[in-house]
Amino acid sequence: MRKNIVAGNWKMNLNAEQTRALISELASVQLPENTRVLVAPPFVNLSAALEAAAHSSVEVMAQNMHQAESGAYTGEVSASMLTHLGVKTVVLGHSERRSYFGETDALLAQKVQTALNHHMEVVFCFGEELAERENNTHFEVVASQLKNALFALPASTWSSIVLAYEPVWAIGTGLTASSAQAQEMHAFIRQTIAEAYSASLAQEVSILYGGSVKANNAAELFGQPDVDGGLIGGASLVAADFKGIIDGLR
């Protein structure tokens, strides 16, 4: 059975002390059945986050990782470094990694495989830009991103894949995706997986929505049949706001 998930991507924010404080506030949240809450602090705060979350239901994940096992890659972090700390989940393919750092589908396919080789769970991000939405190629773009990075994987590995659809055009632009638009794309994603693998596998995959989710729209978005939660940016940095979004899963 697929899980309902709210995942907070903290990006390049908060220090170790702030990380501990925020997780301590989240630790008191009573989660509905079949629900997970994850947070992704910067690399330098992973140890502090893991310590703070140790006796709670909050899970800690990494924001990125390198595809190589080790080597001369200054400033990078490997899968084995993460798993040695106790990090079991990694975000890959975030829109900011794609746009700011030039990460391609081919590179992300390598990263995904490396993560799976280390028995890590992957939160895989993808989604269309504004121009692609406006010229009606958004379905084609999303299908291509999925196919190029994930569809060479055997079906057995999909139990370790969580998808996070990011309508990049609706993030920080003032434009808003409706719950109907979110559901339309999530349904398309699930159907695309069903066609590549099977309907039963597609029904087991959690698909998160990553388009400026707030406490005041979370319940409506999460109430859509193919939306299994959200990947949250700025709103995950404030405990009250993040708790409000988590409440949208109830």
CATH number at residue 104: 3.20.20.70
Alpha helices of 102-178 — where are they, by DSSP H?
105-117, 130-134, 138-150
Q: What is the pLDDT of residues 193-248, one digit of tens each?
A: 999 999 999 999 999 999 889 999 999 999 999 999 999 999 999 999 999 999 99
Residue 132: active-site member:
no
How many domains is the chain built from? Answer: 1
Look at residue 155 and give its three-state secondary structure.
helix
Quick one: pLDDT at residue 174?
67
Determine the structural domain holding residue 111 and report its residue range.
Answer: 4-247
> Region 60-79: what's the mean pLDDT?
98
Per the annotation, the verdict on 121 as an active-site residue is: no
Residue 176 has pLDDT above 90, yes or no: no
pLDDT digit string (tens) for 153-175?
999 999 999 999 999 988 877 67
Its pTM stands at 0.97
**Average model confidence (pLDDT) across the chain:** 96
Report the half-sphere exposure of 161 (CA within 13 A, side-chain side).
28
pLDDT for the residue 212: 83
- CA diameter of the chain: 48
**Does the CA dihedral 105-224-169-92 come out positive or negative?**
negative
Q: Are 105 and 144 in contact (CB under 8 A)?
A: yes
Strand pairing category for 161-165 and 35-40: unpaired
Which is the catalytic residue, given 132, 138, 166, 186? 166
Query: Catalytic pick from 59, 94, 96, 103?
Result: 94
Burial class from Cβ neighbours inside 10 Å (0-12, 13-18, 19+) for residue 197 reads middle
- With CA atoms as reference, report the closest residue to 246 among 198, 211, 224, 213: 213
